Structure 1
Amino acid sequence: MQTVYYLVLVPMVYAAFAVFIFGTAWRLAQTARRPAHGATLQIFPKKDPAWLYAVADTFFMPSILRHSPVLWFFLAVFHLAVALLIIGHLELFAQWRLLQIVPHEVFLGKGFVGLAASVSLLFLFFRRFHAPVRDLSVPEDYYLLILLFLTVIFGSQMDWARR
């Protein structure tokens, strides 16, 4: 029995590591030998700076606003709430006067930021139960939304319990 443990724990581990290294090197060599191909998706006009369109598309999400204004609203609320939560958590470092953006005794928003984040996460979670989003969802999507929701709820309940 000792020999089986030794075979599993020593040579097989080295063999697995060697297969990983040689397989990765092989795939990198195959990828490097392939001919370069041009971009198939051209969404930016050639005369304007592409980064400007990328920034506008990232922060304002015009395609989502065009197709689903309700989804756009809840996404905007969620991202604004996350930004405010980050700012609020930076202010917990009292010794850093530079990070104290707005002096206050209670956390930013007085609990409203956590409520807004939790409501938007609930919308994003229950949205996954309807077609066509249901067909594209995998279990990891649900787990991530549940984890984020529980994090927001447990963090907010500490602030809500203070009142």
Structure 2
Amino acid sequence: MHFVRLTHTHILIKRSTFGERASDAIAAFGGSWTFILIFFAALVFGLWSILKYSARSMRCSILIPIYFSINLMLSILAAIQAPIIMLSQNRQSAQDRLDTAIDRSVNVRAELSIQEISERLNRIEKMLAVTAFEGARQQEHHSDETKIVD
């Protein structure tokens, strides 16, 4: 069963396009703690640089356009990252559906095998019961013969 899953995943990766593989990689990185920490550090460093620059120039009016440009950069990042993550999620849901279909077929085959084994065991039990009954009957018949002889 594990071999089927590995082969199936390998086939899906082989059939995927460059864009699908890229969206998976971007979504994997964009949804990780590494990205969050790097992005947070870049944001803090950016804000620190802005405050340092504004303190040198002693003009607070420069903070307003820089604030809007940072807000614009964050909005653009979110606008670009969201569809890429959705593409990756759609691809993952398709892979999950295929995994479910494979698991179902494996379960059906296992159930059929279990039914076949159960039927064989029932036949063996019946044969053993008949054999045991005939053996008991023969033993009883043999004991009746020995009583008659005595």
TM-score range normalised by the length of the shorter chain? under 0.3
Looking at secondary structure, tell me which structure has more helix per residue. 2
TM-score of the superposition, structure 2-length normalised? 0.26
Bigger radius of gyration, 1 or 2?
A: 2
TM-score of the superposition, structure 1-length normalised? 0.25
Q: 1 or 2 for the larger relative contact order (CA 8 Å, sep ≥6)?
A: 2
